[in-house]
Amino acid sequence: MNLPFLRFSLLLTIVLILAVAAPLSRGQEVESGYGPLPVFEFHSGFWVNLHQFLYREARLRESTPEAKAAAANTSGPVLKQTPVSLSAAEQKTWEQAIAYYRANYAGKDPQINIDLILLKNQLGDFEDCDELLGRKKRACDAGLPGNIGVILEAAAPVYRAHWWANQDRANRRWVSRVAPLIREQGVGLSQRLADIYQSTWPKAKIRVEVSAYANLAGAFTTLDPLRVTISSTEPRNQAPDSLEVLFHEASHGIATPVENAITRECRQRDKPIPRDLWHALVYYTTSEVLRPVMQEAGPDPQSGDMILPRQVNMSRMPPDLREKFTQRGWEEYIRLLNIYWQPYLDGKVNFEDAIAHLVSAV
C-alpha cells in the first residue's frame, strides 16, 4: 500500500464516540471507510475510563506495585497529565471517590476479582448512558451494587471537566494507529492462532475497552464474556507492540485446550501443574505468529517507528512478569518452548506430541 493512500485511509478510520452527552459522546465500534474492523471492536467508554482512572488513583495511594513503580519512576503512561486545579467542592468529591475505591477495590485484581469484573462489564454495557442510577431515564439504571453508582455519578462531572478530554483523545489516537493492521491482518492472525490452540475464534468480535489506564501490566483479559481492557497510554502498548498485545490478550480466551492438555499430561505423569507454563506458551506463540506480519508491515505510518515483533525483553515487562522471567522457571520455559513447541508451530510435529514432550521436559 502506498503512503498517500495509507494516510488517506487513516483519516477515514476512526471516529470513536463516547458515553457522555457531548457531541462525540457515544461509545461504539470503530468503523472506517471500508466498513467495521474485523476480529475486534474498540470502545472508549466514559464510565469504564472513569472507573479505571479511580482504580489507578486508589492504587497509587496504597503500598501497591503501581505506587512503588511511580515512586521509583520505573514505569508510567505516555500521556502527560497537565496539573489540574480543583475547586474545594470538586476536591472533596474526588477524594471521596478515591477513598471509596481504596476501601473497596484497591486491594483487588481486576482480572480475577468477580466484583471488579462485573462492575467493569456493567459500566461498559451502559456506556451510552450519561447516568447510572436511572433517575432521568429508567433504561439507564445500571443496577450497580452498593454505593458505587452514587460515587461514580458524583465524580463524573469532575472527571469530565479536568481529565476526560485528554484521555479520550489518547484512546482514539491509539486505535487509529493499530486499526490499519487489524483491518488487513486481523482475520488471518485470528484463524492462525485458533488453529494453533486447537480452538475456534469467537464468532462475535472481541470487545476491547480502550482506557487511559488498565492495570500494572497495561492490559488484562476477563472471560464470560471475553473482553480485553488495554491502556492507550502504557509505553509497552505503543507501536510496534500494540498489535501483539491485543492478540496476546485475546488468546487468553481461546487457548483453553492448551491449558487443559498441559493439565492432563501433568496428571498422567503425576507431576505438579506448572501454572505459568501456559502463560509463557501464549506469550511465546503470539510473538512467533506475529513476527512475519510485523516484518512486512514496515514503519508505523504516524510515528515512523519500525513495526517489529517484540522479543523477550525483560526490561519492558511489568515487574511481576519480569521477576518470573528472571527466575529459573520462566527462563527454562523459554528454552523448552524453543525445543518442543517451536517444531509444532513449524508444522513438524503434532499438537499432542508437542505438549507431551514439553510437559515431560518441565
Residue pLDDT, tens place only, 143-159: 999 999 999 999 999 99
Dmax over CA atoms of the chain, in Å, equals 67
Strand-pair category, 206-211 with 35-36: unpaired
Categorize the per-residue pLDDT at 83 as very low, low, confident or very high, splitting at 50, 70 and 90: confident
Q: At what angle do helices 148-162 and 88-104 cross, to 10 degrees?
A: 130
* C-alpha–C-alpha distance, residues 12 and 126, integer Å: 27
* C-alpha–C-alpha distance, residues 248 and 252, integer Å: 7
Query: Which DSSP state fits 141?
Result: B
Give yes or no for a contact between 243 and 182, defined as CB atoms under 8 angstroms apart. Answer: yes
Other CB atoms within a 10 A radius of the CB of residue 233 amount to 23
* C-alpha–C-alpha distance, residues 224 and 272, integer Å: 27
Residue-wise pLDDT tens digits, 308-325: 334 444 444 445 445 555
Q: HSE-up of 188 (CA within 13 Å, CB side)?
A: 9
* C-alpha–C-alpha distance, residues 237 and 219, integer Å: 8
User: Going by C-beta distance under 8 Å and a sequence separation of 6 or more, which residues neighbour residue 18?
Assistant: 24, 25, 26, 27, 44, 45, 46, 127, 168
Residue-wise pLDDT tens digits, 167-192: 999 999 999 999 988 998 899 999 99
Give yes or no for a contact between 27 and 44, defined as CB atoms under 8 angstroms apart. Answer: yes
Single pTM value for the model: 0.81
- Whose grid coordinates read 499430561? 265
Give yes or no for a contact between 216 and 234, defined as CB atoms under 8 angstroms apart. Answer: no
Give yes or no for a contact between 38 and 180, defined as CB atoms under 8 angstroms apart. Answer: no
- 3-class state of residue 206 by DSSP: strand
For the chain, give percent helix, strand, coil, nearest 5. 55, 5, 35
* C-alpha–C-alpha distance, residues 33 and 99, integer Å: 44
219 burial (CB, 10 Å; 0-12 / 13-18 / 19+) is buried
- 3-class state of residue 31 by DSSP: strand
What is the arrangement of strands in the sheet containing 40-43, beginning at the earlier edge strand?
40-43, 206-211, 227-231, 219-222
Categorize the per-residue pLDDT at 331 as very low, low, confident or very high, splitting at 50, 70 and 90: confident
* C-alpha–C-alpha distance, residues 12 and 2, integer Å: 16
Q: Is the pLDDT of residue 124 over 80?
A: yes
Q: HSE-up of 254 (CA within 13 Å, CB side)?
A: 26
Query: What is the overall mean pLDDT for the chain?
Result: 82
Q: Is the pLDDT of residue 240 over 90?
A: no
Give yes or no for a contact between 28 and 46, defined as CB atoms under 8 angstroms apart. Answer: no
How many angstroms separate the first and last alpha carbons of the chain?
45
Residue percentage of the chain with pLDDT more than 90: 62
